[in-house]
Each structure stands twice: as C-alpha cells, then as structure tokens.
Amino acid sequence: MICTVTFNPSLDYIVDVENFRLGFTNRTSSEQILPGGKGINVSIVLRNLGISNTALGFAAGFTGEEIIRRIQDMGIDSDFIPVEEGLSRINLKLRSIDGTEINGAGPEIAPDKVEELMKKLDRLGKGDVLFLAGSIPASMPDNMYEKIMKRLSGRGVVTVVDATRELLVKVLKYHPFLVKPNHHELGDIFGVKLHTGEDVIFYGKKLQEMGARNVLISMAGDGAVLVTEEGAVYQSPAPKGKLVNAVGAGDSMVAGFMVGWMEKQDYRHAFYMGIAAGSASAFSENLATQEAIEEVYRQVVDCRKNENS
C-alpha cells in the first residue's frame, strides 16, 4: 500500500491577468482549477507514473467534495475524512504577477478527526510507503508528524517526509527513509546560508547524523544533491528547459525518486528519476506526465555519461 497525507488540501485557482492594476476590475486571460496540496501533488505524479496510491487527509464543504471528485477522476483512490464545519481551502495563484498567491486558511480539524486519521494509518505495515508532505493547519498539534512517526515506529513502514524546520527535525529520531528539504530550508534548520554544493552536502550529512536515512536536497536552477545511507553522494545540475510552472516541482521530485527506488532499489536511478520528475513538472503547465519525465530522464542520464566520458 502506498499512501499520501495532505492535512490541508485545496482547490488551486490559477490565473493569468495581463496588465494587472490594483484597485481596478481585472479580467483573466487564462485560468485553471486544480486540486492542490503537497501530498495530492505527490499522488498525481505517482499515478502519472503508473503507481496506484491512496490520498488521505481532511475535506470540508463543497470545495472538499470537489477536491475528492477531481482526484478520483485522475484515477487516484481517496480516503479523505469529512469535516463538518468550514470549507477546504481555495488558493488563488496569480501566475503573471511574479508568482503572487493568496492561500485560504482551511477548516478547523477536531481531535476526534485526527484520531480517525491515525486509525487509518494503523493499517500500514512492513513494506508500505507513506508520504507526509506539507504544513500543518493551525488547529492541529504542531507535532503531528512526530506523533504519526512514533505510532508507526517499528512496523517497517517506508516513510518519506517533505516538511520544514521543526516539523522535519522532530521526526528525524524515527529514521525516515527519505527527507527532502530544499537548500533554503536546509539552511534555515541550521541557521546558516548555503552557498555551494559542498555546503549542501555537509548539512545534508548533519541531517543524517540526526536520524534521516537518505537526504534529497533540491536546489532550484542549480540542480540537486542526494546523500544516501550507503555513504554515497550524488550531484546533478538542473536539466535544460524553459521554466513554465514551479508549483509542485519539489513534490514531483519526491514522487519520482520513490518510483525510481521502487523500480530498482538503486539510488543513482532513483536520484535521476527524482530530478527528471521535478524538472519535467517545472517545464509543464501542469504536473508532469510519464512521457515528459522519461524524456527528461534520458537527458539527465546522457548528460552524466558525457561528463564521465
């Protein structure tokens, strides 16, 4: 079983507005409505790569119903817990105004709903994969990830955590299989600015010392770094392509890495798959298709071969 958790999913209303003027009526030149949230993004890319999975989380009101409908239409199983009060978020993303976003708050999540999610996660066991991705709503305990990891400890569940600061640091003692900060988030954890690949590797290894098994660090246009539990370090520049939409690129990298790992249990292949999936999404209007990922993967492999020849 492969599951993702999105605590605060959304409908993302993505618009382009030409010549936007503050204080005036503006009209869109293009618009999309997509289900959003880091865990949902992971689920979509997993499904695009042919991997069945179940999306878990909380859904409230008509927006929650629409989120569920849309991900089910994509062929993703959903097991969202209904929340009676409030609405799941609508996030406005103004792509043409330097990536400006207005994100909703989301519904209040009551303690009994949190326990209901925990009981669903109790079904996971040896060899199952769980993705924990994104922020925690203000109404939930700020140690939610830690509680989940503690509850699953010793069951052999393969855990992947994509979170920031304390959310990430607090789970390291439970030895997640993979953590994926970006280089800014990694620097924030240690209170430093990371300027070089050597800096990134050094602090990636620090996360390993704190308990992480494998550390995948995205570096935007500078590529990515992987520090593995076997002691290997892999680095790659970013593939060449036109940046179209950076939303979900990091989530795509996580999904691609894990698909690569499940295919061959080979870290180099998994690393290349992660880079390919993240870059293919960045080069696309929406999250990357399998064909787009495979095309970028070939570019990554060919580039590394040429460097080593």
Locate the domains of the chain by residue range: 2-8+37-84+108-308
pLDDT tens for 180-193 read 998 999 999 999 98
- Judged by average pLDDT, the poorest of 74-78, 114-118, 204-208, 302-306 is 302-306
User: Residue 55 in 3-state DSSP?
Assistant: strand
Which listed residue (12, 128, 188, 251) is catalytic?
A: 251
- Asked if residue 309 has pLDDT above 60, the reply is no
d(CA 305, CA 300): 9
Adjacent-strand bridge partners of 54: 3, 77
Find how far residue 38's CA is from the centre of its chain.
4
Give percent above pLDDT 70 in the chain: 97
pLDDT tier, 136 (very low <50, low <70, confident <90, very high otherwise):
confident
- Asked if residue 221 has pLDDT above 80, the reply is no
Q: Please choose, from the candidates 220, 5, 286, the residue with its C-alpha nearest in 3D space to the C-alpha of residue 134.
A: 5
pLDDT tens for 230-243 read 999 999 888 888 88
Q: Would the pTM count as exceeding 0.85?
A: yes
pLDDT tens for 87-130 read 999 999 887 776 688 888 889 899 999 999 999 999 999 999 99
User: Which pLDDT does position 20 carry in this prediction?
Assistant: 87
- Asked if residue 75 has pLDDT above 70, the reply is yes
Q: Average of pLDDT values for 17-40?
A: 91
More confident residue, 66 or 32: 66
Q: Average of pLDDT values for 139-157?
A: 90
User: Which pLDDT does position 99 carry in this prediction?
Assistant: 67
User: Which pLDDT does position 304 carry in this prediction?
Assistant: 67
CB 133 within 8 A of CB 40: no
- Asked if residue 274 has pLDDT above 50, the reply is yes
Pure H helices in 93-196 = 111-121, 144-152, 165-169, 183-190
Residue range 2-8+37-84+108-308, CATH number: 3.40.1190.20
pLDDT tier, 285 (very low <50, low <70, confident <90, very high otherwise):
confident
User: Which pLDDT does position 238 carry in this prediction?
Assistant: 82
- Judged by average pLDDT, the poorest of 141-145, 156-160, 175-179, 244-248 is 244-248
d(CA 235, CA 176): 21
- Judged by average pLDDT, the poorest of 80-94, 96-110, 204-218, 263-277 is 96-110
- Asked if residue 72 has pLDDT above 90, the reply is yes
pLDDT tier, 135 (very low <50, low <70, confident <90, very high otherwise):
confident
pLDDT tier, 308 (very low <50, low <70, confident <90, very high otherwise):
low
Is 188 part of the annotated catalytic residue set? no
Strand segments (E) across 84-205: 89-94, 100-102, 129-133, 158-162, 178-179
Average pLDDT, the chain: 90
